[in-house]
Amino acid sequence: MRFVDTNILLYAVSTDTAEQGKAAVARALLNEPDLALSAQVLLEFYAQATRATRPDALTQSQATALVRSFTRYPVQATSTDLVLAAIALAQSAQLSLWDAAIVAAAQALRCDELLTEDLNDGQVIGGIPIRNPFQRV
C-alpha cells in the first residue's frame, strides 16, 4: 500500500495550465487501488481546495464530495497514539510536526511507500521510503 500526501489530491483537481503535467500524474495515481491516506490529508485537502485565494477554488460542496470519494481508500484516523508517534518522529528525524504526522500515519497503515513532493525523493523516514511521483514532470 502507498500513502498519498495532500499535494497529490490538490494536483488532481488543479485546472492551472502550469500544473497540467502534475495533474495528469495525480489523476492517474488516484485510479490505482493500493493507496491510503489520513484524516489530516483530507482536512488539508479541504482547507486548501476551498481557500478563497486559490485561483481554481472548489466550492464547499465540491470539496466535500471529493473528500467523501477519497474515503474509498483506507484512511488513518488521528488519535493520541498517532500524535505521540508524530511528535517522537518530528524530534528524531528533524521534521515538521505536520510532515511527521504524515509519516506516522503511513507507518500506522503499514504502507510500503509515501508519495509526496514535500520530502526528499529516495529518502527513508521511519522505515518508509519517500517517492516524488512528479520528479520527471
> Residue 136 falls within a domain, yes or no?
no
> Residue 80 falls within a domain, yes or no?
yes
**Using CA atoms, how far apart are residues 84 and 103, in angstroms rounded to an integer?**
12
Q: Give yes or no for a contact between 111 and 36, defined as CB atoms under 8 angstroms apart.
A: yes
> Residue 105 falls within a domain, yes or no?
yes
User: 36: exposed, middle or buried (C-beta count within 10 Å: 0-12, 13-18, 19+)?
Assistant: buried
> Residue 137 falls within a domain, yes or no?
no
In this structure, what C-alpha cell is assigned to residue 100? 511527521
Residue 2 dihedral angles phi and psi, to the nearest 5°: -115, 135
> Residue 82 falls within a domain, yes or no?
yes
Domain enclosing residue 15, as ranges: 2-131
> Residue 52 falls within a domain, yes or no?
yes
> Residue 41 falls within a domain, yes or no?
yes
> What string of pLDDT tens digits covers the 137 residues of the chain?
999 999 999 999 999 999 999 999 999 999 999 999 999 999 999 999 999 999 999 999 999 999 999 999 999 999 999 999 999 999 999 999 999 999 999 999 999 999 999 999 999 999 999 999 998 86
Task: Check: pTM over 0.85? Answer yes or no.
Answer: yes
What is the CB neighbour count within 10 angstroms for residue 80?
A: 7
**Using CA atoms, how far apart are residues 47 and 108, in angstroms rounded to an integer?**
24
Q: What's the number of domains the chain is made of?
A: 1
